[in-house]
Structure 1
Amino acid sequence: MRKIFFITFGCKVNHYETECMKSMFREADYDITEDMTEADAVVINSCTVTSSGDSRALTALRRARAALPEAVIALTGCYPQANRDEAAKLSEADIIAGTKSRAHIVELVGNCLANKSRVVELSDYGSDDLFEPLKCTRFDSNTRAFVKIQDGCDQFCSYCLIPFARGRCRSKPVEVLRDEVRAIAEGGVKEIVLSGINLAFYGREWGLDLADAAEICAETQGIERIRLGSLEPEMMSEELLQRLKALPQFCPQFHLSLQSGCERTLKAMNRKYTAAEYLALTERIRSIFPDCSFTTDVMVGFPQETDEDHAESVEFIRKAGFAKVHVFRYSRRKGTRADKMTGQVPESVKTQRWQEMTAAADETREKYLSSLVGKTVPVLFERENSTEFHRGYAPDYTLIKISRKNPEKSLRNRIISVIIEEYGHDCCIGSAVPDV
């Protein structure tokens, strides 16, 4: 039996697509190995959101080739799709395929294993491209499944390559989603996380929206939790929020993409909302979901960002009361408008601003976790990673730990009420009610 090893970078959509490719290779009688040194083939699923993402993928490619000179190595994903000319020249890869070729990746690898011919399969996206026919019913974790329901982006933010790497917005057909979620539930998964490149645009081509996808999950026997991936703030309508509120399985954790808390910077980024509109939305959501949490992404060092702009963004982070903030430095991407802007911020300044923003994010994180002490929350427990604690997640996606009194006992895939007694650096600690 042929053995294949996977390396995945980037977002949850990429990880979902890797799980789909694993399923396809299993059906073709490949063995998915966790040891690269024994693999006959390696698939690297890349990310190109930042230059460091490119570097990690290329480093992995070179290391794989050095370790396995006779193996077939495939580079797929966003990096080769957005950087086709550069990717086509990468001699370390036997197969270069972008984000349009995963449906027949098994065929490409099989042919290459048989005849050792090199393949470069990269093509442009068109306006009539349909949603890529991938699906997955088996996941490494049997407690939570990320399900990609949307691909592509029409926003063209001035710093971003993703519209070039993923094409225009398109959605998974309703019946395909229904069948996939049913199969996932039959496999024992209790929590679905709906994911996409621009998730809030789901169903727009058919007059549907994200609530329709969530309702399909809620109607599926065995699904006890529904989460949403990253969301664009301007797409969160009152009707959508009310329909989500009506679903008992909905977990009110909102990852609302921010990028900057500075009005001037948001406009330069070509974001479609103001900081004031964003803040008003969080207040509206809190009025509908009193126990909700907000997480976000924030960029520092965007071209022409001044010290005053940065200070405005830091203050916004403190004001919004995020449960968690991912802070990252602006990365120049060739082909974007921001790459051509004057006033590029020096790396040393980006680093300083990253440190300042991270400190503010840590403050808001601690404040949020401390506010949970004394509350009782339902926790979906996952795989234990030590003999000391059971660990799982509350509906707001806070990591919860309880003492593991019996090292032989597992709570995996069970939902148990926990009273939170204290908080730590990045989690809360409590006791099960009743004791387990």
Structure 2
Amino acid sequence: MIDNTVFENKLAAYYTLGCKLNFAETSTIGKTLAAQGIRKVRNGEKADICVINTCSVTELADKKCRQAIRRISKQHPGAYMVVTGCYAQLKPEEVASIEGVDLVLGAEQKLDIVSYLNDFKKKNEGGAIVASKTKDIKTFSPSCSADDRTRHFLKVQDGCDYFCTYCTIPFARGRSRNGSIASIVKQAEEVASKGGKEIVLTGVNIGDFGRTTGETFLDLIKALDEVEGIVRYRISSIEPNLITDEAIHFVAQSKRFAPHFHIPLQSGNDEVLRLMKRKYDTSLFKHKVSKIKELLPNAFIGVDVIVGTRGETDELFEDARVFIEGLDISQLHVFSYSERPGTQALKIDHSVDPKIKHTRSQQLLDLSERKLHAFYEANIGKEQVVLFEEAKHGDVMHGFTANYIKVEAPYRKDLVNETRRVLLHDFNEDKTALTVTIIE
């Protein structure tokens, strides 16, 4: 039985590291605590409880989490510190030993946080741990968050069954599972009723949607396309083998789905892809890019790439770089391989020197910059619809076209969270956005 009196007049602070899925889940935790009467802290206030939602995609992510926990503990002295997220699930004892931590919640428990807050008394020696084994992470907990711009991030799927050799996410989030189409449509309708205009579909492996409900990702996007009030949807990272040609065809003729795709490649070399145990080859990836460009010539395609994985020789990397350079894509998200305990990649011979990783990463980042610049240049002079965001820097405001081009315009309060047809002009002063003339 929960004693609601312990929540009276309490203030909470929330911190999120990592992916947009984490942000959606932190938002849900915040709403849960707000329903108990716990108010979010304002600037200058000290929190009674701090909730830190962590990431563990790389060793650097773990380090950033530890630093954040210590920093937040100093910012809110005496606050009850709750740590959850992937780092907490994978290394609960390590997290619990960090000074200031009072409670560590695993993946299965984090969205039921109220059940574990019996009091706000600080622990003298190490935090309490409440976490399930990976095989017991089975619950799908709906989550939706709004960022500080105009987008809402809607969780449609969680977990992953792929077990790529370099990845710990299946151990941190459990097996693939999802909500029903009916429940997700209802959430989208709630976003629309509150004035939300753009929704990004998020998850760990969203193309695997339907694993637990017998539905399909194509069924999902068809249903969401009918929700009135939403101007556009964006599909977040989706595996190339799971984005079907039928789904691409549907996006091309849909009312609300943006011509914007984010597809993880990870390597442009088939031998490295086999070492990674990815479920596709470069031929399939190239086909997906070609199909998107055939049906949506002006689509934005972002691509994830990992450099320096075990087994990636100079020759294999160069082959991958040449393949990537030949793809008609818009931008690369480049990650340096980080060895993770318990992964199968550690059994692969030939590790890559950190300096070589850095060099390879810089080569692909330079390539990404050239591709992004060329994509923007190709759109100069075209008309597009922009959803404008709140001002960020003085007298200018920004927004994005459907195909994810960032634009800059003089600030007008009446344009915030509104769509307008614009004419795209040249780059702004720092080359980060295109200037525009509003047509209507």
Coarse TM-score class (shorter-chain normalised): over 0.9
Q: Of residues 300, 317, 321 in structure 2, which corresponds to 1:310? A: 317
- Provide the rounded CA distance (Å) in 1 between the counterparts of 2:348 and 2:83: 31
Question: Residue deviations 1:138-163, cap 9 Å, x none?
Answer: 63447321000100001111100000
Structure 2 vs 1, CA of residues 193 and 38 (structure 1 numbering), >3 Å: closer, same or farther? same
The answer to whether structure 1 residue 45 and structure 2 residue 53 are counterparts is yes
Question: Residue deviations 1:64-119, cap 9 Å, x none?
Answer: 223334110011000011223433433431010121112221342x4231686953
Q: Alignment partner of 2:415: what SS? A: coil
1:362 maps to: 369
The answer to whether structure 1 residue 64 and structure 2 residue 72 are counterparts is yes
Q: Of residues 375, 378, 382 in structure 2, which corresponds to 1:371? A: 378
Contact 2:102 2:122 in 1 (8 A): no
2:114 maps to: 106
Question: Residue deviations 1:278-336, cap 9 Å, x none?
Answer: 01110011112222110011111111211122212222222113212111110000000
2:305 maps to: 298
2:223 maps to: 216
2:330 maps to: 323
- Provide the rounded CA distance (Å) in 2 between the counterparts of 1:216 and 1:2: 40
Q: Of residues 408, 429, 433 in structure 2, which corresponds to 1:427? A: 433
Contact 1:262 1:312 in 2 (8 A): yes
- Provide the rounded CA distance (Å) in 2 between the counterparts of 1:231 and 1:325: 15
The answer to whether structure 1 residue 83 and structure 2 residue 91 are counterparts is yes
1:7 maps to: 15
- Which range moves more in the overlay, 213-222 or 167-176? 213-222
2:6 maps to: none
Contact 2:105 2:129 in 1 (8 A): yes
- Provide the rounded CA distance (Å) in 1 between the counterparts of 2:109 and 2:360: 39
In structure 1, stretches of 5+ residues that fail to align are: none
Q: Alignment partner of 1:205: what SS? A: coil
How big is the shift at 1:37? 5.7
2:233 maps to: 226
The answer to whether structure 1 residue 416 and structure 2 residue 424 are counterparts is no
- Provide the rounded CA distance (Å) in 1 between the counterparts of 2:216 and 2:252: 15
Contact 2:80 2:122 in 1 (8 A): no
Contact 1:304 1:343 in 2 (8 A): yes
In structure 2, stretches of 5+ residues that fail to align are: 1-8
The answer to whether structure 1 residue 32 and structure 2 residue 40 are counterparts is yes
Q: Alignment partner of 1:6: what SS? A: strand
Structure 2 vs 1, CA of residues 208 and 369 (structure 1 numbering), >3 Å: closer, same or farther? same
- Provide the rounded CA distance (Å) in 2 between the counterparts of 1:59 and 1:128: 27
2:5 maps to: none
Question: Residue deviations 1:342-394, cap 9 Å, x none?
Answer: 21111111111111111111111111111111111000011111343221111
Q: How does 1:222-371 map to 2 (within 5 A)?
A: 222-371=229-378
The answer to whether structure 1 residue 124 and structure 2 residue 133 are counterparts is yes
- Provide the rounded CA distance (Å) in 1 between the counterparts of 2:415 and 2:137: 47
Q: How does 1:129-168 map to 2 (within 5 A)?
A: 129-132=138-141, 134-136=142-144, 139-141=146-148, 143-168=150-175
- Provide the rounded CA distance (Å) in 2 between the counterparts of 1:204 and 1:72: 37
The answer to whether structure 1 residue 394 and structure 2 residue 398 are counterparts is no
Contact 1:217 1:223 in 2 (8 A): no
- Provide the rounded CA distance (Å) in 1 between the counterparts of 2:190 and 2:154: 12
The answer to whether structure 1 residue 171 and structure 2 residue 208 are counterparts is no
How big is the shift at 1:207? 3.2
- Provide the rounded CA distance (Å) in 1 between the counterparts of 2:107 and 2:300: 32
- Which range moves more in the overlay, 78-87 or 219-228? 78-87
Question: Residue deviations 1:38-79, cap 9 Å, x none?
Answer: 111111100011111111111111122233341100110000
- Provide the rounded CA distance (Å) in 1 between the counterparts of 2:403 and 2:210: 25
Question: Residue deviations 1:266-288, cap 9 Å, x none?
Answer: 11111111112101110011112
TM-score by length of structure 1 reads 0.93
- Provide the rounded CA distance (Å) in 1 between the counterparts of 2:251 and 2:272: 31
TM-score by length of structure 2 reads 0.92
- Which range moves more in the overlay, 235-244 or 96-105? 235-244
For 2:139, the aligned partner's letter is L
Give the share of equivalent positions with the same residue, in percent. Answer: 31
Q: Alignment partner of 1:267: what SS? A: helix
How big is the shift at 1:24? 1.0
CA RMSD of aligned residues (A): 1.9
- Provide the rounded CA distance (Å) in 2 between the counterparts of 1:142 and 1:216: 25
Contact 2:137 2:174 in 1 (8 A): no
For 1:375, the aligned partner's letter is K
2:3 maps to: none
- Which range moves more in the overlay, 294-303 or 306-315? 306-315
